Amino acid sequence: MEEKLQPGKIEGGLSAAGLRFGIVVSRFNSFITERLLSAAVDALDRAGASSKDVDVVHVPGSFELPLAAKKLAATEKYDALIAIGCILRGETAHYDYVCSETSRGLQLAQMDSGLPIAFCVLTCDTLEQAINRAGLKGGNKGFSPPLKWLICHASFAPPIPSRLPPESCGASNVSLRTKAREFAMQMLFQWDMSQQDFTKLEAKFWKSAKAADKTRAFANKLFEGAAKEVTALDEIIVKHCENWRFERLAAIDRAILRLAIHEMSGSETPPKVVLNEAVEMAKKFSSEDAGAFVNGVLDTVHKSLQKK
């Protein structure tokens, strides 16, 4: 009887022993955030973290969390950061702006630094919801994210070289190219935010991101090609984004579209493959609806390219 496939697993445990954590906490709605902080510290304690390896920094409100997280990441003292806040809906659109920019800012800080940042920011319609989420009437939701982050940290560690498939294998080439596209998208995203010199950005990026030489070379080629053609690519995006203003596009979605259109236009990779990869990236890195949006835009772009 043919032996059933048993894939090898590369997994991390839930031990925080020896790891350093920075926790950034909003003072606004401190009745809630201090409860979340207590639960997060308790979670780290149970996972084996030492008191000397956990630092807590308070900021005025959730809007200030991204900057504080970025500054802590820049010290290179920590293995991970945890951002804690509580944003309550009011009578104006202020809530939407703060929620959006806080989450986007923390995402940018994470991608720019390569340091995992656990998102423990409650976004609630009412104080009652926040009280329930903070565990004052039940289980504390601040307890779970730090433990989930510990798994995340293990997954960010470089894979064991002996367990990686050889690049010469066709199946692994698909996998490695997928990873290269993700790396290229992340560099394009960072470049869009900072407008850094290509060489400097790549050097900084590859300090934290680990990849085989071929994967790195392909990622750099895609990133540089898309960045150099960004004006033309944006014109194509604007043309095919019905009912969407270009400046309203999420930066992640913009990077994914730019990269995919660049590859569709000038590579030997089948456009359908590029489209599918872009959709999967959108689902992984952007919002729930981003996959369908990216699919719609790229499908119309693909059809227009076929007519040429």
| Active site residue ranges | 94
Q: How far apart are CA 185 and CA 249, in angstroms?
A: 15
C-alpha dihedral (221, 227, 228, 234), degrees to nearest 10 = 130
The string of DSSP letters for the chain reads: -PPPP--------S--TT--EEEEEE-TTHHHHHHHHHHHHHHHHHTT--GGGEEEEEESSGGGHHHHHHHHHHTT--SEEEEEEEEE--SSTHHHHHHHHHHHHHHHHHHHH---EEEEEEEESSHHHHHHHTTSSS--TTSHHHHHHHHHHHHHSPPPGGGSPPTTSHHHHHHHHHHHHHHHHHHHHHHHHH---HHHHHHHHHHH----HHHHHHHHHHHHHHHHTHHHHHHHHHHH-TT--GGGS-HHHHHHHHHHHHHHHHSSS-HHHHHHHHHHHHHHHS-TTHHHHHHHHHHHHHHHHHH-
